């Protein structure tokens, strides 16, 4: 969970504790009524914890997903509610959810995604530098054995691993330029290839 999730949990915990303390201070309430109220609030608190912990999974599951028309060499990516385009690619055999970023020069993997796809993190050489909204971070060059969407794929693809804290990996222009046509229309990002192969 992220720092924001922990902060939300801490807030909910303090709120629950304050409510229970207030109930215990009230001398007019009987023990049976107090236990009933405490049980109700405990259940509400547990549901809130589960909801906070699963929120990213729930949000991802109900967001519209990309549609791959492999025979046409086309991928249609709907715009998410936050205004970004997200595309899940299979990288070295594992799914990675990218945010499409035309302002990024290259493919940039978060540390967590790099670990999940099996890159040797201890052997990486952080020789690059990248400017982000949070300042400058170090980056390490890597080669991805394969990167595919549906049956459309590329091999031996250069990318970078970001040493800093990133929520999502970035799909930059070095990948997007592998497509013959990039079009944004009516809330959809459409990537097309003439031959359907990388």
User: Contact, 95 vs 89, CB < 8 A?
Assistant: yes
Residues 42 and 136 in one domain: no
Give the CATH number, domain containing residue 184. 2.40.70.10
Q: Is the pTM of this model over 0.85?
A: no
Residues 57 and 85 in one domain: no
Does the residue 123 lie in any domain?
Answer: yes
pLDDT of residue 108: 94
pLDDT of residue 197: 46
Q: Give the Cα-Cα-Cα angle 128, 129, 132 (nearest 5 degrees).
A: 145
User: Contact, 180 vs 192, CB < 8 A?
Assistant: yes
| Sheet of strand 67-69, all strands in order from the earlier edge strand to the far edge | 67-69, 74-78, 188-192, 181-185
pLDDT in tens, the chain (198 residues): 555 556 666 666 676 666 666 665 655 555 566 566 667 766 776 766 666 665 555 454 555 566 767 568 888 889 888 889 999 999 999 999 999 998 889 999 999 999 999 998 888 888 888 776 667 888 999 999 999 998 888 999 999 999 877 888 999 999 999 999 999 988 899 999 875 444
Q: Residue 29: which domain range?
A: 3-62
Does the residue 198 lie in any domain?
Answer: no
């Amino acid at each position: 969970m992220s720092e924001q999730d922990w902060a939300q949990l801490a807030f909910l915990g303090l709120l629950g504790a304050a409510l229970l303390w207030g109930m215990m201070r009230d001398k007019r309430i009987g023990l049976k009524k107090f236990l009933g109220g405490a049980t109700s609030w405990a259940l509400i608190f547990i549901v809130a914890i589960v909801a906070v912990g699963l929120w990213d999974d729930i949000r991802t599951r109900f967001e519209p997903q990309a549609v791959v028309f492999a025979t046409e060499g086309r991928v249609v990516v709907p715009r998410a509610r936050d205004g970004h385009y997200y595309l899940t690619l299979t990288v070295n055999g594992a799914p990675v959810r990218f945010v499409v970023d035309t302002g990024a020069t290259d493919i940039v993997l978060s540390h967590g995604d790099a670990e999940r796809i099996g890159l040797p993190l201890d052997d990486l050489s952080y020789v690059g530098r990248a400017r982000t909204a949070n300042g400058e971070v170090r980056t390490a060059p890597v080669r991805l054995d394969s990167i595919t969407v549906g049956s459309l794929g590329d091999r031996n693809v250069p990318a970078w691993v970001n040493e800093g804290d990133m929520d999502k990996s970035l799909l930059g222009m070095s990948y997007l330029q592998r497509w013959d046509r990039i079009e944004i229309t009516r809330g959809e990002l459409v990537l097309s290839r003439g031959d359907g192969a990388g």
